[in-house]
């Protein structure tokens, strides 16, 4: 039997047919510009490294001819972009190697369809930013390599929240900007089940006072080397960052909760004040309607000067209306005379005593 297999392999050299495992296809270093289509549905491993493949729409159609593929190696090719839904037909793929390309853009849905992905290698590319809402359909991801790219910040905890196992993450060789914007990443790495590979060489590239500090030390440097009071206030109100099995991001809800609490307290205070003012106003209106005399008494109340009898009466003597007739003036004069007799405004006595009992007839007789 072995002799038969050996003869077949020797004959395949003549026919340019490779003697290899039928579940593997090796096209490495063939200067291919497109993904070749498969002639067998049994292919499990496909090696397309060291070619000039750029993952065009035609390549997407060719990859669909490998429905049972579990491992795909596209390292050292001419890929510059990971467009959306290039791998939707590879639902059984477990290993995707894209290192040593020229990838600078990663679409939000570029990994769509990879439900069983366990290893994702994007190292040694030119990625400057990874979408925060990138879709990671696989819950089995165990290794994620992002080393030697051009990343300065990263926030993918929401994308990786549903993982069923711990994750080995490689971030070394990037130009990390260790300012306040990186505190959330540092807290996430420090508190979650993520295992940061090469932690000792995952260093900050800026600012100057943080150079050569590790990314995981950024949250500990706040207050000494970083002044992130506003960011820290947000982070301090958050419970310790949960692992991947939690279902929500810890930052945004806590901020909203704080704002809602303060807004709620202010609104209640204002509402109570309005109610009190309304009740007092209603009570005053009710009293005014039910007790009009009391209301009139309040409105008519005025401070008046105490009456001074002598000056007031003295002024009243001369308060004569010159428009009155002669009769009225004569009557007023008589009243004045009576007033002077009742008060102290009487001329001094001349020493003679008038006898009121002398009869007038005696005076005329004499």
Note the pLDDT of residue 125: 97
Residue 359 gets the label, from left (phi > 0), alpha (psi -120 to 50) or beta, of beta
In this structure, of 193-197, 212-216, 294-298, the range with the lowest mean pLDDT score is: 294-298
Q: Give the mean pLDDT of 224-250.
A: 48
Residues 6+ apart with CB under 8 A from 197: 168, 169, 170, 172
Tokens at residue 50, please?
């060291």
Residue by residue, DSSP assigns 131-193 as -TT-----S---EEE--SS--S----TTTTTT-SS--EEE-TTS-EE-SGGGHHHHHHHHHSS
Note the pLDDT of residue 296: 62
Note the pLDDT of residue 15: 46
Question: In a 3-state reduction of DSSP, which class is residue 249?
Answer: coil
pLDDT tens for each residue of 271-308: 888 898 988 888 888 877 776 666 566 656 555 555 55
pLDDT tens for each residue of 29-39: 999 999 999 88
Mean pLDDT value across the chain: 76
Question: In a 3-state reduction of DSSP, which class is residue 38?
Answer: coil
């Amino acid at each position: 039997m072995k002799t038969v297999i050996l003869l077949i392999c020797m004959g395949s050299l003549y026919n340019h047919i490779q003697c290899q495992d039928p579940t593997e296809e090796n096209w490495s270093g063939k200067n291919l510009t497109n993904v070749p289509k498969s002639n067998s549905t049994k292919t499990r491993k496909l090696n397309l490294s060291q070619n000039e493949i750029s993952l065009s729409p035609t390549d997407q159609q060719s990859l669909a001819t490998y429905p049972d593929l579990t491992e795909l190696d596209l390292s050292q090719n001419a890929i510059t972009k990971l467009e959306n839904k290039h791998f939707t037909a590879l639902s059984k793929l477990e290993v995707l190697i894209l290192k040593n390309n020229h990838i600078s853009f990663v679409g939000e849905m570029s990994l769509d369809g990879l439900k069983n992905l366990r290893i994702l290698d994007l190292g040694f590319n030119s990625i400057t930013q990874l979408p925060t809402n990138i879709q990671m359909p696989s819950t089995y991801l165990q290794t994620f390599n992002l080393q030697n790219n051009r990343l300065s910040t990263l926030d993918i905890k929401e994308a990786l929240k549903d993982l069923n196992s711990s994750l080995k993450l490689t971030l070394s060789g990037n130009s990390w900007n260790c300012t306040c914007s990186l505190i959330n990443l540092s807290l996430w790495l420090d508190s979650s089940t993520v295992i940061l590979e090469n932690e000792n060489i995952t260093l900050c590239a800026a600012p100057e006072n943080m150079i050569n500090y590790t990314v995981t030390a950024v949250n500990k440097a706040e207050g000494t080397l970083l002044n992130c009071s506003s960011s820290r206030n947000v982070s301090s109100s958050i419970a310790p960052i949960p692992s991947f099995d939690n279902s929500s991001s810890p930052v945004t809800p806590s901020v909203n909760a704080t704002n809602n609490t303060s807004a709620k307290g202010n609104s209640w205070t204002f509402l109570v004040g309005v109610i009190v003012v309304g009740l007092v106003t209603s009570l005053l209106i009710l009293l005014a309607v039910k007790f009009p005399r009391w209301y009139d008494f309040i409105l008519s109340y005025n401070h008046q000067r105490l009456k001074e009898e002598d000056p007031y009466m003295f002024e009243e003597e001369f308060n004569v209306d010159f428009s009155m007739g002669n009769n009225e003036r004569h009557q007023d004069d008589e009243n004045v005379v009576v007033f002077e007799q009742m008060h102290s405004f009487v001329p001094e006595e001349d020493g003679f005593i008038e006898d009121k009992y002398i009869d007038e007839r005696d005076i005329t007789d004499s």
